[in-house]
Structures are given as C-alpha cells and as structure tokens.
Amino acid sequence: MTACEDSQLVARVVSGQDTDAFGELIRRHQSHVRNFLRKLTGDYTAADDLAQDCFIHAWDKLQTFSGRGSFIGWLLKIAYTTFLQSKRKSKRYGEILDQVGHANEVDDRNYTVQPDEVGDLDRFLAVLTDEERAIMVMSYACGLSHREIGESMAMPVGTVKSVIFRGKEKIRTSFDIKDHQHG
C-alpha cells in the first residue's frame, strides 16, 4: 500500500515538480535514510548533512526512478553514493591540508564515534568495510530484502548474501559472538 502511494507521489513530483508531494516522501523516509547514514558515518551531524544532500540529489534524479524496486531501496542507493562522494572529497581535502601542513584539521568521515558513545554495535561496525557496513545496515536496520539490497548496490543477490556472510564472520571472529550472546 505504502509502495503504491510512494509511486503516486513520485509521479506527482515528476509530472508537475510538486514540492509538497516530495516533502511527503521525505517525511516518510527521512528516518530510514538518516539512520542508515548515522550508522555508516558514526557521526550524527555529518549524517544529517549527508541526508539533506541525498534528498536534493533524489529530487534531481527522480525521473530515473523506474518504480520496479522499492523507493526506499532507491533512496538508500543515493544515500550510499552521497556518502562515498563525501568521503572522497574529504580525503582530497585532507591531502591538500596535509600538503600545507595542517594534517590535524583533517576530517575524513571514516567511521568515528566519540569514545564515550562507543557501544557494541559501533564496535561491530568498525571492523567492516564501507560496503559491508552499508549492506549489513540495509539488511538488519532497514529490513531490506537481499533482492532490494542487490538492486540498491547494483550487485547480484548471491554477492549480497556472501557480503553479509563475510560481515557476520568478521564480527564473529573479532568479538567471539557466542560469549557475547550469553554474557
């Protein structure tokens, strides 16, 4: 039902540049997108800035949404691309600062959380690569199916499954997951 309504709202935006309809789409999905980016970056402020950029990109590219997959899957794909672009930019900025001797000012949006805020989930996520983290968050936090994740990340379902398996293995070997369960 929601998917149908999403596609109706998308149609209104594409046909008439209806900003109110787009506002409704943002209201519906902002929590998932912000949550996804918060878990990717580990930084709430940076994540919310990226979420804003993500929705602006979504507005610009909305006519490319085919309507075959879920809208949230399509949005998370844009969110992940926005995250990677931002990371690349920060890296370039860091290199420039490094060249002029301001290495301390570098803000490379790697997974960094404040030491007092580090929880079990943050420790788990820290051992994963960006791609593994994105796929694990899509699967476990956003509840996307493997097929939806495959569409979002432009990879076959089999690859999604193996990335999730690899991520779980990393977590299991790094943190001795069985002890954690019972402790």
In total, the chain counts a number of residues equal to 183
* Residue 159 within binding range of other proteins, rule CB under 8 A: no
* Residue 30 within binding range of other proteins, rule CB under 8 A: yes
Q: How far is the CB of 159 from other proteins (least distance, A)?
A: 14
CB 166 within 8 A of CB 132: yes
* Residue 141 within binding range of other proteins, rule CB under 8 A: yes
Identify which of residues 111 and 140 has a Cβ nearer to other proteins in the complex: 140
Structure tokens, 24: 């409704």
Report the alpha-carbon distance of residue 149 to residue 160 in Å, rounded: 7
Which DSSP symbol is given to 64?
A: G
Report the alpha-carbon distance of residue 150 to residue 160 in Å, rounded: 6
Residues of the chain by 3-state class (helix, strand, coil), percent to 5:
80, 0, 20
What is the x/- site pattern for other proteins, positions 98-137, by CB under 8 A? Answer: ----------------------xx--x-----------xx
- Taking CB under 8 A as the criterion, the residue among 8, 15, 19, 173 binding other proteins is 19
Q: Cβ–Cβ contacts within 10 Å for residue 85, how many?
A: 13
- Taking CB under 8 A as the criterion, the residue among 2, 31, 63, 64 binding other proteins is 31
**Where along the sequence are the contacts to other proteins (CB under 8 A)?**
17, 19-20, 22-23, 26-27, 30-31, 34-35, 39, 48, 51-52, 55-56, 59, 120-121, 124, 136-137, 140-141, 145-147, 161, 168, 171-172, 177, 180-181
